[in-house]
Chain A
Amino acid sequence: MMRQLIPLLLFAFSLLFSFSAEAGELVVIVNADSGVSHLSRSQVINIFLGRNREFPSGRPAMPVDLPAGNPTKALFYRLLVNRDLDQMAAYWSRFVFAGSTAPPIQAKSEEDVIKFVSSHPEAVGYLEGPVNDPRIRAALTLK
């Protein structure tokens, strides 16, 4: 009986670990025609935190965010810069009221992000899960 259970338990554990890995994984997406094949973590930080909104080629980059309170948005900033959404709100309040750099434009949903990125070569967004749309491309995986 025990021998029969061990493979079952191992399979259950493997499923558990595979699901937990995927749950903490996001992909940064760009337009398939952007000419961008890969972005480093530093480049994504610079684009989303408004430090330098350019692709490695020098072309302008336009980040697009999910709405406040969206769990994928919270996971994105946790994985990217280890900050929660309150910290990001505090970060942007300084720039907004100083009248300098604007925060990323905000989409209403993940579908809006895909729609925007697929129709704007300069756009950069993020999604949970694999990229199955030929109009967009994964440029970085965040774990």
Chain B
Amino acid sequence: MAYPCLKKRGMSFLAACLAALFPAFAFGDSPFTLKGFGTVGMARSTNSDAQFIRDISQPNGVASNWSGIIDTLAGLQGNYQYNDATEMIVQAVSHYRYDGTFSPELTRAMIKYDWSPRLFFRIGRVGTELLMHSDSRWVGYSYLTVRPNVDFFGSIPVNYADGMEANYHVPLAEGVLEGNILGGVTREYMPDYPLDHSRLLLSSIGYTKGNWQLRYLYGQIELERAGDAIAPIAAGLQAAGAYSAANSLDLVGSVDRYNSLAAVYDDGTWQVQASVSSIRHQKVFQNEQSWYFLAGRRYGDLTPFAGYSSVRSSAKSIPTGIPSASPFASLNNAVAYVTNFHQQGNTLTLGARWDFMRDVDLKAQVDFIGGGDGTSNLLYRNIQPGWDGKTTVMSLALDFVF
């Protein structure tokens, strides 16, 4: 027997065919929903000695010319409510990736099962909340600023993983105490930082009451790969007899640990967020401490906001013990290059969000970046001699959901 639906093309036919195959359960409309989000963003920096990036997955950034690459993105999500307790979710996002393209990525492909009103499970490709709200960092419409604070979120570009998650909450003193645990494998590729195919453990505990929310989050990633850029350096050190240094660059099996504490206050007029974070790398990469504060006040459709953030890296000494002259000079230089990845600085953010029509906002923002040692290179690309770590980034963004 031929299924007529298999001969049709287009999303509506697909939805209709699937609806015929699965039992419908929903209040009123179809159990299928198709939703989307996106941002059309433009940004430029006043300092052309380095390109400013949104996070370390991006191969290029913005300098003195206006560019849309770092913030422009689009996502599409399909939900199917199978029954009272079970929902299937598939999501794809097109954003500026490590390879310089906007090739869409499968960012969600999961089944959510509500065991009870207090406990749910998710299995499949799920969002990863390594820092508070980082699982929705691509949904610009959901937050005040043009992009999540780069000092704080920029060095952790982990957005999804394949695994299983459990979330449990219990009412407590008019508020809600919530715990979450996720175990899985990361999938996002980066040339310099081999996070993909690594074992990931995330856990969090939080308490929400009235206008307040407090969260503590812990995550750890056990690296599975040596890294395309770092493995040859480690191999060279091994061949040169610099075993201790080679071990420091052998990332396989090393563990990165992430701790953060966050507080949010939102009374409808004021929205205030503050968070502190610590990243500890077991091997060569520098440890990092960062914090940010953001406050916005709503005046009708307009919400001006101001924020301040700071990030500090702690340098690690990895002596190779091999001569600095040829033929080892390039090896020493490579080690110095890797150990020098760091971020030191502060950012003052001023901007406004305008909710000028339903499900659409327009944002303007200026980031005054400076402080630190003036040699930050982790969150910049194409750094030229003379880079002093100071720049002003101007951004415009139009966010939408549907």
Does A52 contact B27, Cβ atoms closer than 8 Å?
A: no
Does A51 contact B176, Cβ atoms closer than 8 Å?
A: yes
B210 at the interface (CB under 8 A from A): yes
CB within 8 Å of B: which of A59-87? 60-61, 64, 68-69, 78, 81-87
9-residue interface stretch from B15-23, B132-140, B311-319? B132-140
Min CB–CB distance A102 → chain B (angstroms) = 7
Min CB–CB distance B207 → chain A (angstroms) = 10
Chain B residues near A94: list those with CB within 8 A: 133, 136, 139, 142-143
9-residue interface stretch from A12-20, A21-29, A39-47? A39-47
CB within 8 Å of B: which of A83-124? 83-87, 89-91, 93-100, 102, 105-108, 112, 116
B187 at the interface (CB under 8 A from A): no
B77 at the interface (CB under 8 A from A): yes
Taking a contact as CB atoms closer than 8 A, the residue among B112, B117, B268 that contacts A52 in the complex is B117
Does B35 contact A97, Cβ atoms closer than 8 Å?
A: yes
Chain A residues near B108: list those with CB within 8 A: 99
Does B358 contact A40, Cβ atoms closer than 8 Å?
A: no
Chain A residues near B141: list those with CB within 8 A: 89-90, 93
A128 at the interface (CB under 8 A from B): no
- The CA of A126 and the CA of B117, in the complex, are separated in Å by 21
Does B35 contact A96, Cβ atoms closer than 8 Å?
A: yes
Chain A residues near B139: list those with CB within 8 A: 93-94, 97
B252 at the interface (CB under 8 A from A): no
Contact string, B65-85, partner A, CB cutoff 8 A, digits 1/0? 000000000010100000000
Contact string, B111-124, partner A, CB cutoff 8 A, digits 1/0? 01000111010100
Chain B residues near A81: list those with CB within 8 A: 268
B127 at the interface (CB under 8 A from A): yes
Min CB–CB distance B155 → chain A (angstroms) = 21
- The CA of A102 and the CA of B133, in the complex, are separated in Å by 16
Does A89 contact B268, Cβ atoms closer than 8 Å?
A: no
Does A53 contact B110, Cβ atoms closer than 8 Å?
A: no
Does A52 contact B176, Cβ atoms closer than 8 Å?
A: yes
9-residue interface stretch from B166-174, B323-331, B381-389? B166-174
- The CA of A87 and the CA of B303, in the complex, are separated in Å by 11
Taking a contact as CB atoms closer than 8 A, the residue among A51, A90, A97, A100 that contacts B77 in the complex is A97
- The CA of A64 and the CA of B91, in the complex, are separated in Å by 26
Taking a contact as CB atoms closer than 8 A, the residue among B37, B127, B171, B176 that contacts A99 in the complex is B127
Does B401 contact A93, Cβ atoms closer than 8 Å?
A: yes
Taking a contact as CB atoms closer than 8 A, the residue among A86, A98, A108 that contacts B136 in the complex is A98
Does A99 contact B174, Cβ atoms closer than 8 Å?
A: no
- The CA of A100 and the CA of B133, in the complex, are separated in Å by 12
Chain A residues near B28: list those with CB within 8 A: 105-108, 112
Does B167 contact A42, Cβ atoms closer than 8 Å?
A: no
Does A86 contact B401, Cβ atoms closer than 8 Å?
A: no
Chain A residues near B112: list those with CB within 8 A: 99-100
- The CA of A102 and the CA of B81, in the complex, are separated in Å by 11
Does B358 contact A99, Cβ atoms closer than 8 Å?
A: no
Chain B residues near A89: list those with CB within 8 A: 141, 358-359, 401
Indicate whether A99 sits within 8 Å of B208 (C-beta atoms), given known contacts A40-B174, A51-B176, A52-B117: no
- The CA of A95 and the CA of B401, in the complex, are separated in Å by 13
Chain A residues near B167: list those with CB within 8 A: 100
Question: Which of chain B's residues has its CB closest to A60's CB?
Answer: B117
Chain A residues near B241: list those with CB within 8 A: none
Does B171 contact A54, Cβ atoms closer than 8 Å?
A: yes
Chain B residues near A61: list those with CB within 8 A: 117
Chain A residues near B359: list those with CB within 8 A: 89
Does A52 contact B269, Cβ atoms closer than 8 Å?
A: no
Indicate whether A64 sits within 8 Å of B401 (C-beta atoms), given known contacts A51-B169, A94-B133, A96-B35: no
Chain A residues near B298: list those with CB within 8 A: 87
Q: Which residues of B contact A (CB under 8 A)?
A: 26-28, 35, 37, 75, 77, 87, 89, 91, 108, 110, 112, 116-118, 120, 122, 126-127, 129, 133, 135-136, 138-139, 141-143, 167, 169-171, 174-176, 178, 208-210, 267-269, 298, 301, 355, 358-359, 361, 401
17 pairs, CB–CB < 8 Å, chain A vs chain B: A42-B210, A51-B178, A52-B117, A53-B117, A68-B358, A81-B268, A82-B269, A86-B358, A87-B298, A89-B401, A93-B136, A93-B142, A97-B77, A97-B139, A98-B129, A99-B89, A99-B110
Q: Which residues of A contact B (CB under 8 A)?
A: 40, 42-43, 45-46, 51-54, 60-61, 64, 68-69, 78, 81-87, 89-91, 93-100, 102, 105-108, 112, 116
Top 8 A-B pairs ranked by shortest CB distance? A82-B268, A94-B142, A86-B355, A42-B174, A105-B27, A94-B136, A83-B268, A51-B176
14 more CB-based (< 8 A) A-B contacts, given A51-B169, A86-B355: A40-B174, A42-B175, A42-B210, A52-B169, A54-B118, A60-B116, A90-B142, A93-B139, A94-B136, A94-B139, A95-B136, A97-B91, A100-B127, A116-B27
